[in-house]
């Protein structure tokens, strides 16, 4: 991956929206734009997948933020080289940096989504 803004921790991007609203597809396109050639799939069942410095997390099946802590989220966040995408970030917001980016996905119709960024 090439240069990214200098921060003291990873860039954390929370992805929020209903099932099928485009969260995983967004990560796939972002990874492709970074030159990642691995096939990006939803981490729903394994919770966390790592593709170099791109980390893809799905918090949908977690019971609490503690489950994500056990997977080493704090260490991943502490590494400023990482870009971390967290689907269903609202479920673990209490352990995420306050300066995270949040992207909301809304299913408008078949093949059409509304995306807003906080």
Q: In this predicted model, what pLDDT tens digit does every residue of 17-39 receive, in sequence order?
A: 998 888 999 999 999 999 999 99
Q: What is the largest CA-CA distance in the chain?
A: 40
Alpha-carbon distance of 4 to 2, in angstroms, equals 7
Alpha-carbon distance of 30 to 9, in angstroms, equals 20
pLDDT at 114: 92
Sequence-distant (6+) residues with CB within 8 A of 34 are: 1, 2, 54
pLDDT at 45: 83
For the chain, which ranges sit under pLDDT 70? 1-7
């Amino acid at each position: 991956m090439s240069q990214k803004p200098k921060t003291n921790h990873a860039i954390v991007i929370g992805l929020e929206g209903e099932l099928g609203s485009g969260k995983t597809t967004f990560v796939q396109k972002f990874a492709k734009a970074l030159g990642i050639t691995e096939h990006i799939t939803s981490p729903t069942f394994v919770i966390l997948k790592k593709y170099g410095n791109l980390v893809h997390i799905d918090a949908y099946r977690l019971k609490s933020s503690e489950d994500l802590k056990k997977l080493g989220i704090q260490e991943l966040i502490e590494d400023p080289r990482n870009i971390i995408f967290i689907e269903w970030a609202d479920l673990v917001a209490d352990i995420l940096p306050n300066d995270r980016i949040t992207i909301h996905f809304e299913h408008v119709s078949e093949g059409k989504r509304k995306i807003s960024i906080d």
